[in-house]
Structure 1
Amino acid sequence: MRGLLAMLSGGALACALLIYLAVDHVALAAGFAATLVAIATLGYWFVQLAPRQAIDIDAVPDWTVARAAADASSMAIAVTDRSGRLVCASDLYGEWFPGFPTPPGLPLDSSDADRLTAAGRAAWSDGEGRAGGIGRGALRLDADVKRTGRSEDYLLWRFTPVKQVSVLDDFNRMLSGEAGRQLTEAGIMAVIIGGEGRIRVANGAFLLRAAGRIDANITGRDFASYLRIDDKGRVFFAREERSALPVRLLQVPLRRNDAEGPMLILMLDEQGGSMDGTSALSYIETLLSLLPFGLAMADRDGRVLFLNNAFSRAVGLKPGEKPSYPGDLVIREDQAAVADSVRRFAVGPQMSGDIAVRMRVQPDEPVALSLAGVRGLGEAAVLLSLKDNSEESKLKRQVAQATKMQAIGQLAGGVAHDFNNILTAIIGHCDLMLMRHTPGDSDYDDIQQIKSNSNRAAGLTRQLLAFSRQQTLRPQVLQLPDIVADVSNLLNRLLGEKVKLVVSHGRNLGAVRADPGQLEQVIVNLAVNARDAMPQGGTVNIQTYAVPAARVREMRHEILPVSDYTALRVSDTGLGIAPDLLSKIFEPFFTTKDVGKGTGLGLSTVYGIVKQSGGFIFAESEPGQGASFVIYLPVYAAIGKAPEPEKPRLPDRRSEVWGTGTILLVEDEDMVRTVAERALVRQGYSVITAADGEQGLEMLAKAAAQAQTIDLLISDVVMPNMDGPTMVAQARRTHPDLPVLFMSGYAEEQLRKSIAIANVNFLPKPFSVSQLAEAARDTLIAYAPARSGHSAAEPEAAVGLASD
């Protein structure tokens, strides 16, 4: 800096000399030089006194520091940037997810992968997201995602293991807590050892006798090293003298069917003081009453001496109730086996084992009853254990029921699809015959009756498709109270004079997205069932109310995910539903009504409509106190979705079903293909037929070779060899503007998800001749712009179905 000042000073003197030579004025030249020197000096001091700011233009995060911090934590951590690259991950992340995959693309179960992806999207939009209980196989993790970084352009993914309930942990906390101190005061020594024989935890009484100090640290030591056995087989503590008292050992396995796993060992003095057999038994009973799983004790004759509360709950006993023999708790066929096992374990050497029995409270579900012989506890000779698995059994039944319902739904959907083909042929031939007959002809009424019965059968197939969640829905955003209000007048007529209808609505109800017509059918079915359950009259209550996510979380329901719902409850004051029937009421063709008074498809249809709408339905009932059906529909959240503009409508041309042009008809069912061909020919079209997708492509190529124009392609969706969507995808390569009309017995929603083809129309089976003609006409009108150059607004309105 000093050199710079010297240069400026020299420059100032040179400028002053030039000015003096030019104007011959000494004062002016000296003033100019002084001014330059003063400005330079002020600039120097300003630079020295001004605060310096370090500007790091190319600052790059030091990910080595972040990785070291991540490895120091007990969770798996990963960091991704805006472009989706994995920029940092902990070693634990690599152990849980080998190969360091980039989240959310982790090897998880399908539903868990979707939830993790949704959590990442929520973090980018809201700042944080969460997906609990994700994983693959036995690995279960909670994932927390947070947007972070100086510019919030990174996502921090934190994975923590889900805490699993452990009986061993419960015992560890018990012995190291208040229960361990109570046992110490009672003179009972307790210790938990692992399968390898090493000590996990011990109470004060054992520490004092085994190590001489109550604060001794013997965790991980060999349990057998603290004991010795004399020539008579008696057990003593190794550190005590030969005159010490022997001790009795009672072994309690902590894992079912694992005699070599973790074990609770209780130790008592053989004699001396008040520790006789009777008092020791009372201490043991006090301990057993504290244990988290069911335990009972029986004498040599098989009489029950004691059972704790967990055992009573597991076998369905009332508070204070005590059976005389263990065999009284099981069904009659298993009583002899239980009695023989108790006698066998009560005598001879100490041993343990399990037998499968069926309890009186649950005769259809076998459970494992563990028996172990005990010695030195007075009258007690056998220890019986039974896990209180009521919640586990409930979950198993729910999973089995869901699996069964899914299998039945697939079967019902397949039957309905095949039956729809048959009904399509029957209804189509009836329509063709009615065209040749007029009212008053001898055959007219018979044909009309056949068609009427066929339409009734089509209604049954729609119910089957509703149960299997394969029917075509037209969902709308709506409010449940509006649907209830629309159907109230109909319900008053259906319920009759003996049944009173009471309707109440809650506040702040969220909108739901469902088919209003199907929701009306749900309400009507539930109300009619409630009426039939009250033959002497009663009250049907219909309620709507909001269920926020906080309340769902408090409910702790195993099936209902935590979210905001709008609930619909339909309850009655009738006879109720028997507990053994409650799990079967949603199955198709199951009914409690008399023969001829019900098809058994009402509640199964309700179940299918609710599930296909994304909701949940539960039945609640107490015999003699009525029944309630509660429907939870998720609140519709239209985040970031602009309202769809209203489409202009074309003039109604339903009466104009006649047409011209060539139609390629592809259908694998001969009877459907025949009736469809005849119907289209009668409407003025030229029809070319094919039995599958491969033949359809051959006919299309043949027509192109002959310069013949195909104006419309009508095809079934599911066909052998080559299905309809595959055929259309290949046909669009050579005929990009070819209008397509798909016909199928499956739901349009299911097909739209699997068919990524634009500009197609859909016709559900079964259909009549007029419906086929109208669908063909509407498809030709809808997709005429691509062929004739008209605007695209008109045809979309004529289709009635959104293009892909």
Structure 2
Amino acid sequence: MGQAPSRSFVPLLALAAAASAAIVLYAIGDWALAAGFAATVITIAALLAWYRRLYPPPLSASDAVPDWTVARAAADASSMAIAVTDRAGRLVCASDLFGEWFPGYPSPPAVNADASLIESLTAAARAAWRDGEAKVEAIAHATLRLDVDITRTGRSEDYLLWRFTPMRQPSALDDVHRVLTGEAGRQLGEAGIMAVMIGGEGRIRAANGAFLLRAAGRIDANITGRDFAAHMRVDDKGRLFLAREESGGLPLRLLQVPLRRATQPGGIQNGAQDGPMLLLLIDEPVGGGGTSALSYIETLLSLLPFGLAMADRDGRVLFVNKAFARAAGIKDAETPSYPGDLVVREDQAAVADAVRRFAVGPQMSGDIAVRMREQPEEPIALSLAGVRGLGEAAVLLSLKDNSEESKLKRQVAQATKMQAIGQLAGGVAHDFNNILTAIIGHCDLMLMRHTPGDSDYDDITQIKSNSNRAAGLTRQLLAFSRQQTLRPQILQLPDIVADVSNLLKRLLGENVKLDVSHGRNLGAVRADPGQLEQVIVNLAVNARDAMPEGGTLNIQTYGVPANRVREMRQQILPISDYTALRVSDTGLGIPPDILSKIFEPFFTTKELGKGTGLGLSTVYGIVKQSGGYIFAESELGRGASFVIYLPVYAGGDIEQAKPKTPIKRSETWGTGTVLLVEDEDMVRAVAERALTRQGYKVLTASDGEQGLEVLGGGEKIDLLISDVVMPNMDGPAMVAQARRSFPDLPVLFMSGYAEEQLRKSIDIANVAFLPKPFSVNQLAEAARDALAMRPAAE
């Protein structure tokens, strides 16, 4: 392509030179001067062309085409999964590792079917487009736990770079390797302690300088992977020596610390030869006493990063390092006399028996599952190993501080359980709405044949009233399962609190004082104001019930910037700017065993008949559906607090909800032919009767395939009313196919699921929604308004 302009330039140059010479000849009449002028033009043009070829102009940003082959090669060279998306959300480049972790190369954020994960990654992507970068920590995908870093990149910053990095899990092996090869290993060597980590096969994985110097002769020797036994020898008296020190060497004492717990900590298992170990070697003191050796070991144990303690043959505790004290909940001035003092009463006998068994007989190690006195709700593994030749010390105990790990596991398990319960609740609400639709519809039809004063009129009215109460219960289930229709607006939390304060004062009564405070410069949030008011009221009523003798209800709003969220190190809360709402009381508090269950539906501690157990579950569903997070904090006797974090509205990235203005008419009588498609016989029957009474001709079908057959039957259909979820062919699939032949056909969807959720999943324009359960009059009004959507030409 670069030679074409040069070839086209030659005839133009000749023509220009000839024209210039002709003009000069005509003006002056001198042939020599005209020829010289033409030669000068040709020379200058040739020089310009030569310069342009040597120094071509740089490509503009619009001409530059990204070389994704180079980017892909660089991505494959890294240890993380990498993907690049453009502003349209399309995947333009990804590493091979991304394809292994996410089969089919899905375009982020839709990397799997988890709706909450997609929602979290979508919010992070918006933040990255706005701020340049974002991060989501500890996402779960199959068996992986990944950190996701998102960066805006590209010459015009029109791409997002997604980096998926596996979370590094804490490992005792890594901790010991770091100790032995670092400054702590050098200090151990100066104290006369040789330390070696070996694998289950007996080969060396790491060693400190003291062992390398005495076993290999050089402190920089590389003995990784060699057999540990090859560096040792045993004399005829059973004493242990270094093989390199054949004569004149001192006998050694060996202490074995197992680094891998038993696979089944429910009982004691002999694991001395099954896994990696830390071996500690010290010179046998003169005279064979154990006091000096014990001091060496205590020095070592105080430096190691995991919890270790020693006990004698009678089970008395001799030494506890700081990590063990922290994991066991031991305060500085409360060193326990026996290991059994650390566990609950039911486990004390098992711990004492295990210590006695390991203190005598052959050296062995194992685990036992215990419940600590300070944390009785979470069983943990206590490792024991018998030691010999250290004087009084006979048993080494190991305890891992897994409080943060256990807390994270509980949070993940709670989130998973709540998601599963939410899906179940949504399905139950959908089916229940079908039943209520039939009940309410038949009540309306019966009321048309009765007048006030009839013997049956009051009974039918009561049935309908109770059915409407049941419909309210299903709405709470849909709110919990995050499938309720919300009307979000841009608002300030203090305004919502102010609107509901007068109602709260009446609900709380005279014994409870309401204290409200607001922070400054709070960011706006996007939520449904009516649902937020319900959240505050539900939390306030629960707080009132927790203060039977009176107290104070505190409602506080404040801003939480992203840097503060980062300092909180909250595993579930993504790093972003939030506006927080805290509702706290001075009541009885919530017991720890109940705190993890309070958001579950139908869980209540109130007396029978005084609570449905849906208040807090509804709060949870509304907050999550609004894109927020809620956490409960409590201490017995000191009240409870509920903290809600709502993301600050960024503006521009979310369309403002447009209020609907349906046509309001008092007359519901209509004409025309309606095709009704509904798989539930009872709902189809009541809807058919209701529409027929309003003057419509009604054709029916039980699924999408039958509906298409009726549409193709030749009779003109004025309105299609269809359920969304049906067997064989669902409503959206039927409508999408019907619109090909009847593009202007008005459509009214009816469903027990929420309109907002359906509109996200149904990509069909110009359709109306009618939520179940509905009355006969509501169905007639919806049909009238849907027919009004027809083009004016009709």
Deviates more, 1:511-520 or 1:39-48: 39-48
- 2:677 corresponds to which residue? 666
Of residues 522, 541, 552, the one that matches 2:554 is: 541
Gaps in structure 1 of 5+ consecutive residues: 1-10, 791-804
Q: Label 1:742 to 1:106 Cα distance change in 2 as closer, same or farther (>3 A).
A: closer
Higher relative contact order structure (alpha carbons within 8 Å, sequence separation ≥ 6): 2
Q: Is the 8 A contact 2:98 2:105 kept in 1?
A: no
Aligned to 1:681: 692
Return the alpha-carbon distance in structure 2 between the equivalents of residues 540 and 106 of structure 1: 41
Query: After the TM superposition, which residues 47-126 of structure 1 pair with which residues of structure 2 at under 5 Å, given as runs?
Result: 54-56=54-56, 93-94=95-96, 109=112
Change in Cα spacing, 1:316 to 1:157, as seen in structure 2 (3 Å) is: closer
Given the alignment of the two structures, is residue 265 of structure 1 paired with residue 279 of structure 2, yes or no? yes
Q: 1:270 to 1:108 in 2, by over 3 A?
A: farther
Distance change >3 Å, CA 106–CA 556, structure 1 → 2: closer
Residues 583 and 518 (structure 1), Cα distance of their counterparts in 2 relative to 1, 3 Å cut: same
User: CA offsets per residue over residues 432-460 of structure 1, 9 Å max, x none?
Assistant: 23223333333333322222222222211
Match of 2:604 in 1: 591
Alignment map for 1:431-470 (pairs within 5 Å)? 431-470=444-483
Q: Deviation at 1:627? A: 1.4
Q: Computing the radius of gyration over CA atoms, which structure comes out larger, 1 or 2?
A: 1
**Partner amino acid, structure 1, of 2:685:** T
2:760 aligns to what SS in structure 1?
helix
Q: Deviations over 1:557-589 (max 9, x none)?
A: 011111222211111222222222111111112
* Equivalent in the alignment of 2:4: none
- Once the two structures are aligned, what percentage of the paired residues are identical? 76
What code does the residue aligned with 1:180 have? G
Residue 216 of structure 1 and its aligned partner are, at CA, apart by 5.1
**Aligned counterparts of 2:517 and 2:210: Cα–Cα separation in 1:** 64
The residue type equivalent to 1:449 in the other structure is: Q
Aligned residues: 757
Which deviations, in whole Å up to 9, do the C-alpha atoms of 1:251-279 show, x marking residues without a partner? 11223237544322111122328x83123
Matched, 1:729 2:729: no
Structure 1's 573 and 714: CA in aligned 2 closer, same or farther, altered over 3 A? same
User: Contact 1:586 / 1:607 at 8 angstroms: preserved in 2?
Assistant: yes
Displacement after TM superposition at 1:246 (Å): 0.8
Match of 2:793 among 789, 796, 801: 789
Q: 1-side partners of 2:597 and 2:90: how far apart?
A: 50
Letter in 1 for 2:384: L
Determine the C-alpha separation between the residues in 2 that align with 1:424 and 1:87: 48
Partner of 1:7: none
Distance, in Å, in 1 between the alignment partners of 2:750 and 2:48 is 84
Contact 1:144 1:157 in 2 (8 A): yes
**Separation in 2 of the partners of 1:644 and 1:363?**
49
**Distance apart, 1:128 and its partner CA:** 6.2
Report deviation, 1:555: 0.9
SS of 2:197's equivalent?
A: strand
Q: Does 2:352 align with 1:339?
A: yes
- TM-score, normalising length: structure 2: 0.84
71 and 565 in structure 1: CA distance in 2 versus 1, 3 angstrom threshold? closer
1:755-794 residue pairs with structure 2 within 5 A?
755-781=762-788, 783-785=789-791, 788-789=792-793
Q: Which residue of 2 aligns with 1:622?
A: 635
**AA of the residue aligned to 1:598:** G
1:443-592 equivalence runs, <5 A: 443-592=456-605
CA shift, 1:616, in A, is 0.8
Contact 1:354 1:369 (C-alpha < 8 Å) held by counterparts: yes
The one-letter code of the counterpart of 2:315 is: G
Q: Is the 8 A contact 1:659 1:777 kept in 2?
A: yes
Letter of the 1:658 counterpart: W
| SS of corresponding position for 1:619 | strand
CA gap 1:576/1:476 in 2 versus in 1, 3 angstroms: same
Confirm whether residue 179 of structure 1 aligns to residue 176 of structure 2. Answer: no
Relative to structure 1, is the Cα distance of residues 138 and 71 closer, same or farther in structure 2, using a 3 angstrom cutoff? closer
Contact 2:703 2:730 survives alignment (8 Å):
yes
Q: In the TM superposition, what is the alpha-carbon distance from 1:602 to its structure 2 partner?
A: 0.9
Quick one: structure 1 residues 549 and 437, their matched pair in 2 at CA, closer, same or farther if it must change by over 3 Å? same
- Measured in 1, the distance between the counterparts of 2:303 and 2:536 equals 49
Deviation at 1:158, TM superposition (A): 6.6
Q: Secondary structure at the match of 1:375?
A: strand
How far residue 300 of structure 1 moved from its aligned partner, in angstroms, is 2.0
Residue 516 of structure 1 and its aligned partner are, at CA, apart by 1.5
Structure 2: how far apart are the matches of 1:77 and 1:169? 26
Matches of 1:279 and 1:695, distance apart in 2: 91
Match among 201, 214, 232 for residue 209 of structure 1: 214
Deviation at 1:640, TM superposition (A): 5.7
Larger deviation: 322-331 or 465-474? Answer: 322-331
Distance 2:566 2:259 in 1: 32
C-alpha displacement at 1:462, in angstroms? 1.2
Shift of 1:169: 3.1
* Aligned partners of 1:327 and 1:338 also within 8 Å: yes
Tell me the alpha carbon deviations over residues 325-375 of structure 1, each in whole angstroms, 9 at most, x when there is no partner: 333434444444333332222222212222333444444543322221111
> In the aligned structure 2, how far is the partner of 1:337 from the partner of 1:407?
38
The alignment's TM-score, normalised by the length of structure 1, stands at 0.83
Change (3 A) 1:162 1:66: same
Q: Structure 1 699/451 Cα, relative in aligned 2: closer, same or farther at 3 Å?
A: same
1:289 partner SS? helix
1:12-23 alignment, distance < 5 Å: none
Q: Distance in 2 between matches of 1:32 and 1:651?
A: 90
Amino acid at match of 2:668: V
Query: Could you tell me how far 1:413 is from its partner in structure 2?
Result: 2.2
One-letter amino acid of the counterpart of residue 56, structure 1: P
* CA-CA distance at 1:541 after TM superposition: 1.8
CA contact (8 A) 1:107 1:136 kept: no
Change (3 A) 1:674 1:34: closer
RMSD of aligned residue pairs (Cα, Å): 4.2
Structure 1 range deviating more: 389-398 or 356-365? 356-365
**1:146·1:157 contact (CA, 8 Å) conserved in 2?**
no
After superposition, give the CA deviation of every residue in 1:572-627 in whole Å (9 maximum; x if it has no partner): 22222222211111111222222322221111111111111111111111222221
Q: Which stretch shifts more, 506-515 or 637-646? A: 637-646
Closer, same or farther: CA 477–58 of 1 in aligned 2, 3 Å: closer
Trace 1:399-414 onto structure 2 (pairs within 5 A): 399-414=412-427
Q: What is the CA–CA distance in structure 2 between the aligned matches of 1:550 and 1:417, rounded to whole Å?
A: 42
